[in-house]
Amino acid sequence: MITRSFDDKELILFCDSLADRDVDLKAIIESYGYPPYWKRALHFETLVQIILEQQVSLASAKTAFLKLKKKIGKLTPQKILTVSDEDFRAAYFSRQKTAYTRNLAQAIIKDEINLRSLQYENDEVVRTALMKIKGIGNWTADVFLMMVLSRINVFPFGDVALVNSLKHIKQLSKETTKAEMELVVAQWEPYKTIAAFLLWWAYIQRKGIRL
């Protein structure tokens, strides 16, 4: 069975459902409105960009992504394997991100993973398939599940901004453990992705980040 996904209209309904259960999430909606329906296309380029976003700002990742696109056009696995180390460096790809991007390209070319078919699999199958590729960990798999496949019950504890927003909204101390945070997040089942969208949205609004 495919794990539940959601669309833009359901996002609003599920936000309201969470607001009825949690006054802190309700306060986010009252202060900032509903979060965007963050949705990304299911293709190779998207996953390359998510890899670039690991542990850096979205703006930095986008700059690198667009610089490489300007150099080679649409990113495909075949094209990626023809890009030199020098051209990757010129596009601000680190040595690690270069290796991870090539690993993904090789896995697709060797038919070790089929991104399109992942939409028909449950969350754990998707996560396992992605994480077999060196350079793709829990955070990258979580973002893929949430923003590409729109899976409804994912919460990436590896996301610093999200965790900081959770601590702020719930007035948790800096020393709060992951296990303690998991107890809080568990109360938002089966809409953990929706709660994450709300927390990200609150963080973006508080910090004045321009999307």
Q: 60: domain range?
A: 44-148
What integer best gives the mean pLDDT of the chain? 96
Q: How far is CA 23 from the centre of its chain?
A: 26
Instruction: Look at residue 2 in the predicted model and tell me its pLDDT.
Output: 64
Assess contact for 76 and 44: CB atoms under 8 A: yes
d(CA 126, CA 148): 12
List of residues 6+ apart from 117 with CB closer than 8 A:
none
pLDDT above 80: residue 211:
no
Integer angstrom CA distances of residue 141 from 131, 134, 154, 179 = 7, 12, 10, 20
CA distances from 188 to 169, 194, 196, 198, 201 (A): 14, 9, 10, 12, 16
Considering the domain architecture, whether residues 101 and 128 belong to the same structural domain is answered as yes
Q: Are 29 and 19 in contact (CB under 8 A)?
A: yes
N residues, the chain? 211
Residue ranges of E strands in the chain: none
Residue 1: pLDDT band by 50, 70, 90 thresholds? low
Q: Do 126 and 200 reside in the same domain of the chain? A: no
Domain assignment present for residue 3? The answer is no
Alpha carbon distance, N-terminus to C-terminus of the chain: 35
Q: Is residue 203 part of a domain?
A: yes
Q: How far is residue 39's CA from residue 193's CA, in Å, rounded to a whole number?
A: 12
195, part of any domain: yes
DSSP symbol at 55: T
Query: Helix-strand-coil percent breakdown of the chain, rounded to 5?
Result: 65, 0, 35
- Binned at pLDDT 50, 70 and 90, residue 149 comes out as very high
Residues 130 and 71 in one domain: yes
User: How far, in Å, CA of 53 to CA of 64, rounded?
Assistant: 10
Does one domain contain both 81 and 113?
Answer: yes
List pLDDT tens digits, range 33-52. 999 999 999 999 999 999 99
- pLDDT tens readout for residues 68-100: 999 999 999 999 999 999 999 999 999 999 999
Of 148, 171, 189, which residue is a domain's last?
148
> Are 128 and 182 within one domain?
no
pLDDT in tens, 106-140: 999 999 999 999 999 999 999 999 999 999 999 99
Q: What's the whole-model pTM score? A: 0.95
